[in-house]
């Protein structure tokens, strides 16, 4: 097979920058900063050694080291408990919306899937769960927790997150920090493996252990994470191979990669790429459709993965789908979202024209494609003048290939982090995008990205840090 996709996707969509927010320095962060010694942790020699360690541990996005920062992100026990309760509830709602959408064409239409996406979503995966692995992009503040979107398809980073935590736990400064704080890392890889195996068993798989195939294009910059996951899974006694979709073969009975049978396909290749490169992905889709292989995530995950999923949650015409407690959770944590159209909508019982509403309130809204990544096409109303905002809305309305959503802006978090620069280590005010992983609906840890801009991914000039739960001793 010939041809290859563009290997340019990042691990997150763009998160909207907001007006100036005062950066925080929580007590644990302040304590950590006080332990950084100018002649040790802040020295060029230490930074060079730390970067070499991260490269050796495959903590790279392409050729770039993930973490130029010198401390983790710290959560309190209460932070963990609060985020866990909300995210697990949203994941459960997402699974229910998938089942209801597949049974109700009118509800499914609200996600604005393309005909090809709907065709794939209607293939039975052979088990009940849409998203074995998913991730919510969140902003956690002392008095609020809000989400920008739901990555229900194939989120990157669980291998990076835990490995990075292990690097920080091995640092001498962490030993001194533990004299005052109890520190707990998240077992993201263990929980991911357990979730994959649970989906395989639900599917009816009998191999013990099954052979896992991690599948994505060999050109992607996250290939090093697949190697991290392969090593961890095999250490747990589960044989694992990494494969490009173009290396897969299906003989009507078995799916193989370079002669090795795959029992459980951990799909990291995105549905958008599957549809854009149908010939290269034919063996994968055929094996899945025939029930010859268990695949996670299932292709039904596209339904909650769409940005319009938040429109489904916040649209009053769907309120009967949710309990009173779920409606309150949605009001508190999900930004008001709508598929962009010149139509009527409602909010708090009031009916009005959607287009005129968002035209007049550009300072309060983000416009973004229903299903793209890396910040492609995102327009921030408050960063545009009236004519620019109107033009962006008009372009989206006349886009006959893609649906677009408008979403109310949300509160963001900023903290100060020590960051390596060309001139040494500086204390930098960074946006903190805390993205909880959910494996079969259970929160398992975080992909935590920092950015000096509003582009919260590792290509934005920021990077990733480990998230850890800390509790004062005594």
Which of 19-23, 133-137, 392-396 has the least mean pLDDT?
Answer: 19-23
Percent of the chain with pLDDT over 90: 87
Give dist(CA 78, CA 82) in Å, integer: 6
Over 70: is that where the pLDDT of 245 sits? Answer: yes
What is residue 243's DSSP assignment? E
CA distances from 372 to 12, 365, 378 (A): 10, 18, 9
Q: Cβ contacts of residue 63 below 8 Å, gap of 6+?
A: none
Q: What are phi and psi of 417, to 5 degrees?
A: -130, 145
The pLDDT score that the predictor gives to residue 452 is: 83
Please give the average per-residue pLDDT across 14-26, as a whole number.
59
**Radius of gyration from C-alpha coordinates of the chain:** 22
pLDDT band at 18 (very low <50, low <70, confident <90, very high): very low
Over the stretch 276-334, which tens digit does the pLDDT of each residue have? 999 999 999 999 999 999 999 999 999 999 999 999 999 999 999 999 999 999 999 99
pLDDT band at 64 (very low <50, low <70, confident <90, very high): confident
Over 70: is that where the pLDDT of 9 sits? Answer: no
What is residue 306's DSSP assignment? S
Give dist(CA 333, CA 141) in Å, integer: 12
Give dist(CA 363, CA 341) in Å, integer: 19
Over 80: is that where the pLDDT of 23 sits? Answer: no
pLDDT band at 229 (very low <50, low <70, confident <90, very high): very high
Over the stretch 198-224, which tens digit does the pLDDT of each residue have? 999 999 999 999 999 999 999 999 999
The pLDDT score that the predictor gives to residue 422 is: 87
Query: How wide is the angle at C-alpha 69 spanned by C-alphas 66 and 70, nearest 5°?
Result: 130
Over 70: is that where the pLDDT of 179 sits? Answer: yes
Over 60: is that where the pLDDT of 148 sits? Answer: yes
Q: How many helices (H) and strands (E) does the chain have?
A: 16, 24
Q: Are 265 and 293 in contact (CB under 8 A)?
A: yes
Q: What are phi and psi of 307, to 5 degrees?
A: -60, -25
Over the stretch 352-385, which tens digit does the pLDDT of each residue have? 999 999 999 999 999 999 997 666 788 999 999 9
Mean pLDDT, the chain, as a whole number?
92
pLDDT band at 13 (very low <50, low <70, confident <90, very high): very low
Reduce the DSSP state of residue 261 to 3 states and report it.
Answer: strand
The pLDDT score that the predictor gives to residue 459 is: 46
Over 80: is that where the pLDDT of 347 sits? Answer: yes
Give dist(CA 256, CA 285) in Å, integer: 13
Over the stretch 99-136, which tens digit does the pLDDT of each residue have? 999 999 999 999 999 999 999 999 999 999 999 999 99
pLDDT band at 250 (very low <50, low <70, confident <90, very high): very high
Give dist(CA 61, CA 410) in Å, integer: 28
Angle between helices 77-103 and 324-333 (to 10 degrees): 110
Over the stretch 404-463, which tens digit does the pLDDT of each residue have? 999 999 999 999 999 999 889 999 999 999 999 999 999 999 999 999 865 444 444 579
The residues with which 421 forms a beta bridge, in sequence order, are 424
Please give the average per-residue pLDDT across 337-347, as a whole number.
96
């Amino acid at each position: 097979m010939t041809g290859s996709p563009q290997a340019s996707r990042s691990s997150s969509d763009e998160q909207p920058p907001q007006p100036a927010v005062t950066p925080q320095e929580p007590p644990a962060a302040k304590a950590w900063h006080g332990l950084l010694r100018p002649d040790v942790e802040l020295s060029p020699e230490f930074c060079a050694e730390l970067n070499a360690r991260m490269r050796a541990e495959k903590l790279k996005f392409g050729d770039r080291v993930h973490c130029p920062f010198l401390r983790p992100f710290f959560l309190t026990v209460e932070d963990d408990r609060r985020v866990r309760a909300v995210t697990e509830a949203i994941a459960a709602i997402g699974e229910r919306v998938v089942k209801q959408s597949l049974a109700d064409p009118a509800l499914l239409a609200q996600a604005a899937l393309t005909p090809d996406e709907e065709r794939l979503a209607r293939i039975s995966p052979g088990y009940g769960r849409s998203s074995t692995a998913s991730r919510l992009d969140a902003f956690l503040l002392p008095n609020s927790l809000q989400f920008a979107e739901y990555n229900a398809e194939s989120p990157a980073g669980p291998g990076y997150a835990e490995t990075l935590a292990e690097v920080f736990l091995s640092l001498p400064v962490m030993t001194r920090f533990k004299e005052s704080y109890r520190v707990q890392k998240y077992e993201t890889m263990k929980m991911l493996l357990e979730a994959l195996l649970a989906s395989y068993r639900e599917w009816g798989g009998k191999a013990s252990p099954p052979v896992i195939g991690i599948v994505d294009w060999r050109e992607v910059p996250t290939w090093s994470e697949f190697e991290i996951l392969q090593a961890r899974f095999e250490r747990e006694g589960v044989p694992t191979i990494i494969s490009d979709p173009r290396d897969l073969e299906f003989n009507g009975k078995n799916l193989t990669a370079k002669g090795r049978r795959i029992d459980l396909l951990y799909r990291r290749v995105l549905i958008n790429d599957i549809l854009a490169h149908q010939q290269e992905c034919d063996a994968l889709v055929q094996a899945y459709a025939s029930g010859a292989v268990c695949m996670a995530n299932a292709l039904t995950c596209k339904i909650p993965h769409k940005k319009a999923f938040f429109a489904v949650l916040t649209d009053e015409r769907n309120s009967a789908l949710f309990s009173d407690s779920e409606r309150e959770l949605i009001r508190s944590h999900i930004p008001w979202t709508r598929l962009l159209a010149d139509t009527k909508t409602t909010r708090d019982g009031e009916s009005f024209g959607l287009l005129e509403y968002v035209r007049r309130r550009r300072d309060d809204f983000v416009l973004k494609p229903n299903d793209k990544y890396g910040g492609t096409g995102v327009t921030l109303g408050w960063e545009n003048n009236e004519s620019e905002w109107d033009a962006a809305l008009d372009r989206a309305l006349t886009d006959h290939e893609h649906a677009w959503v408008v979403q109310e802006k949300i509160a963001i978090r900023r903290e100060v982090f020590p960051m390596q620069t060309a001139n040494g280590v500086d204390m930098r005010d960074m946006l903190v995008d805390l993205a909880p992983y959910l494996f079969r609906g259970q929160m398992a840890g975080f992909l935590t990205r920092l950015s000096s801009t509003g582009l919260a991914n590792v290509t934005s000039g920021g990077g990733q840090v480990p998230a850890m739960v800390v509790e004062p001793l005594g």
